[in-house]
Amino acid sequence: MKLFILQILLLFHHTLCKDEIVDYRVGLLIDGSKLCSGSLINENYILTAGRCIHRAFEVDVVIGTKNLLVQAKSSYISTTFMIRENRTHNLIYNDIALIKIPTLNSNYSINFPQLFEDEIVDGATLNLSGYNLENCDDLATWGEQQVEVNSDKCQNVVPCDTGKEFFFCATPTENTLSGFRNDGSALIDENDNLVGVALYNTEINATCAVKVSYFLPWIQSKIYN
């Protein structure tokens, strides 16, 4: 893993070409030692899991590449983070965070996701997307997998079962979850709404995710003030 992270560091600090089309999904390298996924929600802010930047000093944000081991087209170093107030480290309630970056250049072309406002319901089909940090065959590549919201699959699992107001559970429509499930991965519905922020859990074949709709007032209060 250390060699993998060093390879990414050596590829940082490249710039995007004029009028480059960029995906809203980004890679995050925290303090040079931890990797997460995140989602650009406007020109200045990235939404990710609070655990990603808990006690962090510095975050490198990689934009514009589907493979972290291929020369990154752009990166920023950000030291401005906002973790949801009253987050508890043990029970990980309020496990959501914003990262502020310099305003994106006008040459960037990004289709930002909409932030989901409604309550998520069982049976809803979503796309789970992020960087693969597990499987060697596709290591460091961006990808996605279809999942279905299923509250029964996370019974007795913290925080999904004990914090249903804040979280929801999703299981793969195929047999196994891919490596794209990591802290900060996005859960997107068919209308390109950002519904949830994934929290990684090795113990279950399911994804526990933070509800964007529950934290929408907090998100809006930070990015518009």
Mean pLDDT, the chain, whole residue set: 79
Strands (E), the chain: 21-22, 25-30, 34-40, 45-48, 59-63, 74-78, 80-83, 97-100, 109-110, 114-115, 125-131, 142-149, 167-172, 186-188, 193-199, 207-211
pLDDT at site 21: 64
pLDDT tens column, 73-105: 667 777 788 877 666 655 567 789 999 888 776
Domains in the chain, CATH or no CATH each: 2-110 (2.40.10.10), 114-213 (2.40.10.10)
Residue type, 19: D
Provide mean pLDDT across the span 9-22: 49
Burial class from Cβ neighbours inside 10 Å (0-12, 13-18, 19+) for residue 127 reads: middle
Written as six digits, the tokens of 145 are 């997998």
**Residue bearing the bigger pLDDT, 161 or 49:** 49
